[in-house]
Structure 1
Amino acid sequence: MKEAAPRCWKRPVCFLGVAPFYVKPPKFIGERVLYPTKPKSSVQKVPVLGGTPITADTALALRRQVFGSADLLGSTENEWLGQSFVFHDGETVEAYSLKMHKTSTKGLAMCVQGFILKHLLFNRRGARVVADPTVLLRATTKAQEEALVGALSDILWRAGERQHAVLCLAQENIYVNDTPSYQSDGCTERIHTFEFKKQDELTFNLKKYLFEFLADEGNGLLLFLYSLVLSRGFNKLNEDMGGEEVSLLCTNAIIHPCLATLMLTGRATLFLHNGIIYEGSEDTMAKPKTGIITRAEVGLLVWRRPEEGGQVNVGSRLKTPSFPVWVTRCNDSYGILFNPNKELTRDYHAENRFDLYYYSASTNQKSATIITIDTRNQTVKEEYNSPYLENLIHTKWQGADVNWNGTAPFV
């Protein structure tokens, strides 16, 4: 005869100087003991309530601004539909980073990644916060979610000039039907828009509806991109681009460079130099070229092969951001460089010898890549004989010695 499971009582637990309290007993099922556990994720799918249903005019304008047209579904639309934000498993060495299933979406993801690192490494407050960066980078699922909410909130709020922001969320109902000028894509025509005048309200609703941006086979990336466009506004985008008609996604589905500047600075400028420069003369009506107006929180470093157009003029407001985090663009391949020491962009003495983490979501990256930069030993290297990433690093730390620490250069 099988013995009955032992009876378990709540037993008082008492520590010195502390009143007794009771511990919830484990639950017995057969011969197995099930201990109470906390769910890893707090994200739940909740119905999208309120907001304003999208109109045909707005749907048409969004598709044209993002994809260049709305009358057909092409390869670019198909690349971006069904894509959401996905983290690596929590509490692992890559827990701080976003996964990318498609190369075309990497540029947007790396810009968001920069602000995720800002929140993971530099925005954690309180006495219980662990200062060890290796622990912070091994983010828990909860920390991942909080950092993503903070990152999306920062980007959208800055795009709305810190006055307002618009959030796009999808419902089940369809509000825009197919016409000769618009072909439905399964996402755009289901959107409800929400406008916020305070960042706290935006952050609260991003947290509430975070499932929309994390759901498997959802449209989280596109919903965020639409939110970004509406937060900036079509008229402001046109001004940012100097009146040029530019779609935010290129024909090969990768992001246009002005989309990166929109996410990093709040303005979709085509130029990366500091301030405003004038091209031409008084006789030819010199035209202003507006670049980066204020110092960015997350920076940008760019390198291009000479046959691809040569070096891009990137100003110090992007090269020396508030936080030591840089989105990188080697030709059209995006990645991110960062250092956990906030003083790196505040004290030039910290730039004598330091490490940079590099992440690109590349299949060629098999483990954590930490590169050591030594600016004390100036070396002259031929651009053609150096890895692309080293050439990019030299656009900021000219002549610095770059040590891959045993990792074979893969960029």
Structure 2
Amino acid sequence: MMSDCGLDYIELLQQEVDRTSAKLLYLRNEEEPEEAPPPRHTPHTCSAPRRLAISPGLGGKPLTPPFTENLRRLLFGRTVRVFNFDWRKSFFHFREPNSELSYALQVDQGGARAVQMVIQARIIKHLLFSQQGGSEGRSLLSLTELGPPEQQGALAAALSDSLWLAGQEESATVTMVTEDDSPKPPSEYRLDLLTEKMHTFVFNRKEELSSFLLDHIHCFQEEGGHGVVLFLYSLVCSRTIDRIREDLDSSTAHLLQRRLGNFVCSQALLNLLLTGRATPHVCNGTQAPGGGAAPLDPPLQGVLSRGDIGYLHWSREQMDRDRLLQVGSMLKTPRFPVWLCCINSTYSVLFSLTRSLLSDWRTEHQFQLFYYNGQNSQNSTARLTIDTHSHHWEAPSVDPGVDLEKRFPSLEMTIRTKWEGASINWGGIPPFY
């Protein structure tokens, strides 16, 4: 009988073979022209390690071929497109337990970064405001010195909140990799060695959803489990394909956009992550199109209500072209003082420890914001002091020909999209540009 060490070694070899096969498959997919007929591949052992594949005996249902086709079209626009290697390798991995940044996720530089940072924002919201006693008076220590059990609980809560919100707080669906193959898809469908192994699990009570996620949280936070893809599939299934199509308008046909050989999140997908609805614009409610629109252009479908997590946006490139995205107050003023920030197309998180910051105007005279950008080089949470009564930043420049936006860090300009004219003190640390 083979020893446990021998079995572990064989499994490691299988994982490496599967990982190499998957990477070669996606590299070939990227090089092929869109018009080429999709190649067929023989059934393949799932690239997820066996410990990260669950038994279908738990009651899950396989994804049907028609559903997977519609899922691909909604995500990519074509059934022959699949997640590339960068997406497939992404998962939710915390930084060192019991450290100053033990609340923080290590995030990727590819398209999955936006998804990871939204979950990061929900983790912070949970640790600061959703636990017992999570009102006022929380300190930064609430986010530090977390052991693995606390990290796992916070991640499960963040995933659960997102899926339950997408399911209109009535139900949610979790997709998991199982040991069985799903029905064989049609010939025009490109196998990706992952979707064909997925089963869905539906929950009508949030407590059961949270418990299931916590029991299987290792599938989302271990390497090889494709945790970000699992969560994204779960999010779409929770909202349902039909509802997402109703959320979208003619400006957005699918949720992922191809850019420089990678897939990045559309604004509709960001809004789905933040609010539970895949509306494609950041304005409040439904608005008429801008001045350059054609007379028959449909109205813009924006955000209908405040969510738990907010959104701030800044882009030097858009500012130079006078096309800066104007985020509405529904996203700028969430129920909790935690914001996903899109700064020059890179995602990060800004938050406050004061829950009443957005409900009591007196707290907005002078307050502190904390910032995490997801970079490995950041070894502590940045602390900024915001003063909305001082306007030193607007003092005349030594060089009057230099724009204000080019004299100040982009993070500061992002903050000023919410608190116009505020001065920002970095507390002695070098500013993030």
Q: TM-score range by the shorter chain?
A: 0.7 to 0.9
User: Is 2:99 the counterpart of 1:86?
Assistant: no
The alignment partner of 1:273 has SS state of coil
- Greater alpha carbon shift after TM alignment, 234-243 vs 86-95: 234-243
User: Is 2:356 the counterpart of 1:350?
Assistant: no
CA contact (8 A) 1:71 1:180 kept: no
Choose from 332, 347, 361 the match for 1:334: 347
**Shift in alpha-carbon separation, 1:126–1:393, aligned structure 2, 3 A:** closer
User: Offset of 1:230 from its aligned partner?
Assistant: 1.0
> Partner amino acid for 2:330?
R
User: Offset of 1:175 from its aligned partner?
Assistant: 1.3
CA–CA distance in structure 1, aligned partners of residues 297 and 361 of structure 2: 37
User: Is 2:284 the counterpart of 1:262?
Assistant: no
> Partner amino acid for 1:162?
E
CA–CA distance in structure 1, aligned partners of residues 321 and 147 of structure 2: 41
> Who is 1:68 aligned against?
77
> Who is 1:394 aligned against?
416
User: Is 2:401 the counterpart of 1:406?
Assistant: no
**Shift in alpha-carbon separation, 1:136–1:332, aligned structure 2, 3 A:** same
TM-score (norm 2): 0.78
CA contact (8 A) 1:271 1:290 kept: yes
TM-score (norm 1): 0.82
CA contact (8 A) 2:340 2:348 kept: yes
User: 1:10-409 alignment to 2 at 5 Å?
Assistant: 47-48=55-56, 49-73=58-82, 76-125=83-132, 132-138=138-144, 139-177=146-184, 179-251=186-258, 252-279=262-289, 284=295, 287-305=298-316, 306-307=319-320, 310-379=323-392, 380=394, 382-409=404-431
Spell out, residue by residue over 1:364-386, the C-alpha distance to the aligned partner (whole angstroms, 9 max, x if none). 53432111111120242711221
The alignment partner of 1:287 has SS state of coil
CA–CA distance in structure 2, aligned partners of residues 394 and 72 of structure 1: 39
CA–CA distance in structure 1, aligned partners of residues 267 and 429 of structure 2: 29
User: Offset of 1:140 from its aligned partner?
Assistant: 2.5
- Greater alpha carbon shift after TM alignment, 235-244 vs 212-221: 235-244
The alignment partner of 1:371 has SS state of strand
Paired residue total: 365
The alignment partner of 1:357 has SS state of strand
The alignment partner of 1:150 has SS state of helix
Spell out, residue by residue over 1:258-311, the C-alpha distance to the aligned partner (whole angstroms, 9 max, x if none). 111101111111111222223489x94573322111111110001122246622
- Greater alpha carbon shift after TM alignment, 302-311 vs 292-301: 302-311
User: Offset of 1:245 from its aligned partner?
Assistant: 4.8
The alignment partner of 2:256 has SS state of coil
CA–CA distance in structure 2, aligned partners of residues 171 and 400 of structure 1: 52
- Greater alpha carbon shift after TM alignment, 297-306 vs 242-251: 242-251
CA–CA distance in structure 2, aligned partners of residues 146 and 109 of structure 1: 16
CA–CA distance in structure 1, aligned partners of residues 105 and 306 of structure 2: 25
**Shift in alpha-carbon separation, 1:175–1:80, aligned structure 2, 3 A:** same
CA–CA distance in structure 1, aligned partners of residues 238 and 208 of structure 2: 14
> Partner amino acid for 2:195?
T
CA contact (8 A) 1:278 1:289 kept: yes
CA contact (8 A) 2:166 2:238 kept: yes
Structure in which a larger fraction of residues adopt helix: 2
CA contact (8 A) 1:335 1:359 kept: yes
CA contact (8 A) 2:248 2:279 kept: yes
CA–CA distance in structure 1, aligned partners of residues 271 and 59 of structure 2: 31
User: Offset of 1:63 from its aligned partner?
Assistant: 2.3
Spell out, residue by residue over 1:219-269, the C-alpha distance to the aligned partner (whole angstroms, 9 max, x if none). 111011001111111121112111555332221322112111101111111
**In angstroms, what is the RMSD of aligned CA positions?**
2.5
**Shift in alpha-carbon separation, 1:184–1:401, aligned structure 2, 3 A:** same
CA–CA distance in structure 1, aligned partners of residues 151 and 248 of structure 2: 33
CA contact (8 A) 2:91 2:221 kept: yes
Percent identity at matched positions? 35
Unaligned runs of 5+ in 1: 1-42
CA–CA distance in structure 1, aligned partners of residues 414 and 333 of structure 2: 14
The alignment partner of 1:125 has SS state of coil
> Partner amino acid for 2:430?
A
CA contact (8 A) 1:365 1:410 kept: no
The alignment partner of 2:299 has SS state of strand
Spell out, residue by residue over 1:286-343, the C-alpha distance to the aligned partner (whole angstroms, 9 max, x if none). 7332211111111000112224662212111111111110000012110000011112
